[in-house]
């Protein structure tokens, strides 16, 4: 009887592609310490299924190591990055990475979802990204929520299936707002709600991680004086 092979990422963050090719679209990133089941291998590429959210894609065979089991006990990096030592070499593990307890020094960090979200302000948008070097809208929400002890799925349409649906009149800080393509009605965007200066605002990754106004119709960009996204629903996700 064959035993399922398990891999782990020991680099800061590696790309996950939709097909086994350097030219294929990057759909996700695997952060330091995340583990995965090996589904398929060839000479250069490995097809994997992530343990934490079941996301499937292809990674470079040189960018992972085999491990005996999935994470049992670990800490989550709660800063934009944490410097750690791996085999006596420095690694900068980005927020949301899984790190062995003995390797993470700063354990007393008690931040909020909103605090951590604002750390990413001005981070460039990057399709499939999950780090402060580049991040997409749902990668942004997934990493920030994980840093605060809440595990959610990877893509916006998947995240929209979680939690409790909230009316616009009852929103509160750290609810998630989801936005749709008005033609297809499919969910294509997500951001984190907060209230400030008597306004309802949203922090989200669109071009960069930015703050805009949220109305009951969608996202309003005060700089361009235009509505950029159409509101679909609001969800409250708690521990």
Catalytic positions, written as ranges: 137, 189, 204
Residue listed under structure tokens 């999935």? 70
* CB contact set of 87 (below 8 Å; sequence gap of 6+): none
Structure letter (DSSP) for residue 182: T
Residue listed under structure tokens 């292809």? 58
Distance CA 227, CA 70 (A): 44
Distance CA 33, CA 97 (A): 6
Radius of gyration for the alpha carbons in the chain, expressed in angstroms and rounded: 18
Q: Mind giving me the DSSP string for 184-222?
A: T--EEEEEEEEEETTEEEEEEEESEEEEEEE-SSEEEET
φ, ψ (nearest 5 deg) of residue 146 = -60, -40
CA within 13 Å, CB half, 65: 8
Mapped onto helix, strand or coil, the DSSP state of residue 101 is: helix
The DSSP element (H or E) to which 61 belongs, if any, is none
């Amino acid at each position: 009887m064959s035993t399922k092979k398990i891999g782990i990422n020991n680099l800061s963050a590696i790309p996950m592609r939709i097909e086994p090719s350097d030219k294929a679209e990057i759909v996700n990133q695997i952060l330091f310490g995340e583990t995965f089941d090996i589904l398929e291998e060839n000479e250069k590429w490995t097809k994997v299924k992530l343990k934490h959210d079941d996301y499937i894609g292809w990674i470079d065979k040189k960018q992972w190591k085999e491990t005996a089991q999935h994470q049992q006990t670990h800490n989550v990096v709660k800063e934009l990055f944490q410097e750690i030592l791996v085999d006596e070499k420095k690694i900068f593990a980005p927020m949301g990475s899984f790190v062995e307890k003995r390797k993470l020094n700063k354990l007393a960090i008690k931040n909020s979802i909103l605090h951590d979200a604002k750390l990413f302000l001005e981070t460039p948008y990057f399709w499939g990204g999950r780090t402060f070097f580049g991040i997409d809208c749902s990668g942004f929400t997934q990493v920030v929520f994980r840093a605060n002890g809440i595990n959610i799925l990877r893509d916006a349409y998947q995240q929209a299936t979680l939690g409790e649906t909230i009316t616009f009149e009852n929103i509160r800080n750290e609810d998630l707002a989801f936005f749709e393509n008005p033609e297809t009605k499919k969910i294509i965007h997500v951001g984190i709600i907060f209230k400030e200066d008597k306004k309802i605002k949203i922090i989200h990754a669109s071009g960069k991680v930015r703050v805009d106004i949220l109305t009951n119709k969608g996202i309003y960009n005060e700089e361009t004086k235009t509505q950029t996204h159409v509101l679909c629903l609001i969800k409250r996700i708690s521990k």
